[in-house]
Amino acid sequence: MKTNYTIGINFLHSDTSACIFKNNKLIAASEEERFLRVKHTSLFPENAIKYCLSEAKINLSDVDFITINSNPFSSLLKKIGFIFSNPFSLGIAFQSLRNTKSKISLKKQILKIDPINRFKGKIKFIDHHESHIASSMFSCGYKDSVNLSLDGFGDFASCAWGLSYQDNFKLDNKIYFPHSLGIFYQSLTQFLGFKSYGDEYKVMGLSPYGEPKFYKEISKLVIKNDKGFKLNLDYFKHHKQKIFHVSENGQFIYENLYSKKLLDLLGKNRNSNDKIDQRHMDIAKSTQAVYEDVFFHILNLLNKKYKDIYNLNLSGGCAMNSVANGKILSNTKFKNIYISPNPGDAGGSVGSSLSFLKKELNYEFDIKNYSYLGNSFTNEEIFKVLNKEKISLQFNLEYLENEKLYSFLTSHLLKGNVIGFFQGRMEWGPRALGNRSIIADARNPKIKDIINSKIKRRESFRPFAPSILEEYVGDWFELKKKVPYMSEVYKIKEEKQKIIPGVTHVDGTGRLQTVNKTDNEKYYNLIKNFFENTNVPIILNTSFNENEPIVNKPVEAINCFKRTKMDVLVLENWVISRNQG
């Protein structure tokens, strides 16, 4: 049987990425930002592709197919119809045509990667939302499921859904430009002074501090209907003019998406450096409440449409709204939820390949370690970096076998120290899940302030996440459910909240990550060692970075350690600590 190699890419969106399959096996995947060190870059994922080729130990000439999570011909009639009915939107139309041209000329970009071992295979364009859904559907383990993709825009649509049965899937309907729940949330995020692409999580973090006092006003922006929803376009500008440009390093820079009418409705917007007051918190809470109301409306429509199907696969950028995700079970008829570790645009690279390989080659998939697909480093490779950086002359350096390492780290956690934990393969997706993490003792009521002062320097209202041994989740949270990718927020049991104040948000919730030995043995054993010493099976986990993409290589972890006040750095079995006795 011939071996087929397939590369999947996300391009012409933020968070460009690449993955590689050998037949039906997913070998590697990574976001381009991890190599360029630029958050959310949209530049062509050349470095990510080269990484994937190195992991597969092949040249570009060995690749049979390249798939991309966009199809220039998707929704073409809808695009043409919109232009004819909205002649004031010609600027948007020309931008769309430029993107279409870029997609079609993709082969020129690929040829630049390796002019000697040139790509001779075929390029396959896969619908954006089909790619989103496939990235989740083929790894969920459900025999049948309702599949929903919800984001800003992709291929002129913001929302798509359909039903799958035994890996056979079709899209049944979409919601098209200019209507988008992602645009709604991004607009209010900008109104609250959070202007950078991807800042929506700040509104989620701020919302529990407020009351939904502006619900009535903000609900005017989105109109629910029997097809899902539509935006009240009087409050938006994205359908009338180009609302972004791309910087030299590939970052999307957005103008305000909202119109003056939103200022008339809500009053003055917040500037980025204005102090956050109670009114801003109430607007954040109201925004989240309106989003959830429309979100659950869509899901309940799908419950009616697909009767007796209680499994949900959720994908797209809006699937990152972990607060809403944690309320699905109590607000719909769905009994099981699956969200992949990378549900946004970056994950579409994997989804495009999965969709193509299923439809064209009829492959079956068994995706393991889906959350850990990035690069890794041996102790020998790390030692070379440590020598080059002259670490032993600056800090304490020692090598510890695993069991001694767990005890050593537990002792430092008990002292209130903050630890950079770098091991195994880089995470696939935006969440640090124990391989490129900063960890601390969740029992310490001052730990959030300590981490922010020593390392993260981020807003005080943003919570840190609890990593818990999977078998104890029902003892600490008001549910019994595996949530391995930190994609859902749930209530911590009231009597437990005071035990773990470092990861308990102001409303008594936590963004849950369950950890088991099969998925991540080293991280599991570390938490277990901490549990054996404290009777608490939870540690605080946040991403290993300081206002940058998550660290990818040992030297980046070392540099972060040097420029912050992190107490301990673990690089596989090498331990660096400051001179503190």
What pLDDT, on a 0 to 100 scale, did the predictor assign at position 104?
A: 57
Closest CA to 328 of 302, 348, 306: 302
Which of 76-80, 134-138, 245-249 is predicted least confidently? 76-80
The mean pLDDT value for 179-186 works out to 98
CB count within 10 Å of CB 377 equals 20
Per-residue confidence band for 107, with pLDDT thresholds at 50, 70 and 90 = confident
What pLDDT, on a 0 to 100 scale, did the predictor assign at position 76?
A: 63
What pLDDT, on a 0 to 100 scale, did the predictor assign at position 96?
A: 52
* pLDDT at residue 11 greater than cutoff 50: yes
What pLDDT, on a 0 to 100 scale, did the predictor assign at position 172?
A: 95
What pLDDT, on a 0 to 100 scale, did the predictor assign at position 259?
A: 97
Spatial distance between the Cα atoms of 483 and 504, rounded to a whole number of angstroms: 17
The mean pLDDT value for 96-111 works out to 67
Contact yes or no for 69/128 (Cβ under 8 A):
yes
pLDDT 10s digits, 507-557: 999 999 999 999 999 999 999 999 999 999 999 999 999 989 999 999 999
Spatial distance between the Cα atoms of 144 and 161, rounded to a whole number of angstroms: 14
Which of 102-116, 168-182, 485-499 is predicted least confidently? 102-116
Spatial distance between the Cα atoms of 261 and 270, rounded to a whole number of angstroms: 15
What pLDDT, on a 0 to 100 scale, did the predictor assign at position 198?
A: 94
Which DSSP string do the residues of 362-428 spell out, in sequence order?
Answer: -------STTB-S----HHHHHHHHHHTTGGGTSEEEE--HHHHHHHHHHHHHTT--EEEE-SSPBS
What pLDDT, on a 0 to 100 scale, did the predictor assign at position 581?
A: 44
What pLDDT, on a 0 to 100 scale, did the predictor assign at position 510?
A: 97
What pLDDT, on a 0 to 100 scale, did the predictor assign at position 170?
A: 87
Per-residue confidence band for 91, with pLDDT thresholds at 50, 70 and 90 = low
The mean pLDDT value for 82-109 works out to 62
**DSSP summary character for residue 219:** G
Spatial distance between the Cα atoms of 141 and 570, rounded to a whole number of angstroms: 34
More confident residue, 581 or 438: 438
Cβ-count burial of 248 within 10 angstroms (0-12 exposed, 13-18 middle, 19+ buried)?
exposed
pLDDT 10s digits, 341-382: 999 999 999 999 999 999 999 999 988 889 999 999 999 999
For tokens 């002129």, the residue is 156
Residue type at position 543: S
* pLDDT at residue 185 greater than cutoff 70: yes
Spatial distance between the Cα atoms of 163 and 551, rounded to a whole number of angstroms: 38
What pLDDT, on a 0 to 100 scale, did the predictor assign at position 459?
A: 84
Report the DSSP pairing between strands 17-22 and 25-31: antiparallel
More confident residue, 325 or 1: 325
Is the N-terminal amide bond of 178 cis, ω within 30° of 0?
Answer: yes
Mean pLDDT for all residues in the chain: 94
What pLDDT, on a 0 to 100 scale, did the predictor assign at position 365?
A: 92
Q: Quick one: what percent of the chain has pLDDT higher than 90?
A: 87
What pLDDT, on a 0 to 100 scale, did the predictor assign at position 88?
A: 58
What pLDDT, on a 0 to 100 scale, did the predictor assign at position 95?
A: 57
Per-residue confidence band for 174, with pLDDT thresholds at 50, 70 and 90 = very high
What pLDDT, on a 0 to 100 scale, did the predictor assign at position 93?
A: 52
The mean pLDDT value for 482-502 works out to 97
* pLDDT at residue 31 greater than cutoff 90: yes
What pLDDT, on a 0 to 100 scale, did the predictor assign at position 456?
A: 77
Closest CA to 296 of 469, 109, 148, 102: 148
Q: Quick one: what percent of the chain has pLDDT higher than 70?
A: 94
* pLDDT at residue 64 greater than cutoff 50: yes
Contact yes or no for 16/346 (Cβ under 8 A):
yes
pLDDT 10s digits, 413-452: 999 999 999 999 999 999 999 999 999 999 999 999 999 9
CB count within 10 Å of CB 23 equals 13
What pLDDT, on a 0 to 100 scale, did the predictor assign at position 450?
A: 93
pLDDT 10s digits, 311-323: 999 999 999 999 9
Count the helix, strand and coil residues of the chain and give each as a percent rounded to the nearest 5: 40, 20, 40
| Whole-model pTM over 0.85 | yes
What pLDDT, on a 0 to 100 scale, did the predictor assign at position 99?
A: 56
More confident residue, 410 or 455: 410
Domains, the chain, ordered by start: 5-75+86-128+346-361 (3.30.420.40), 161-166+176-338 (3.30.420.40), 379-577 (3.90.870.20)
* H or E element that contains 569: strand 568-571
* pLDDT at residue 176 greater than cutoff 60: yes
* pLDDT at residue 404 greater than cutoff 70: yes
Per-residue confidence band for 98, with pLDDT thresholds at 50, 70 and 90 = low
* Residues contacting 498, CB < 8 A, separation 6+: none
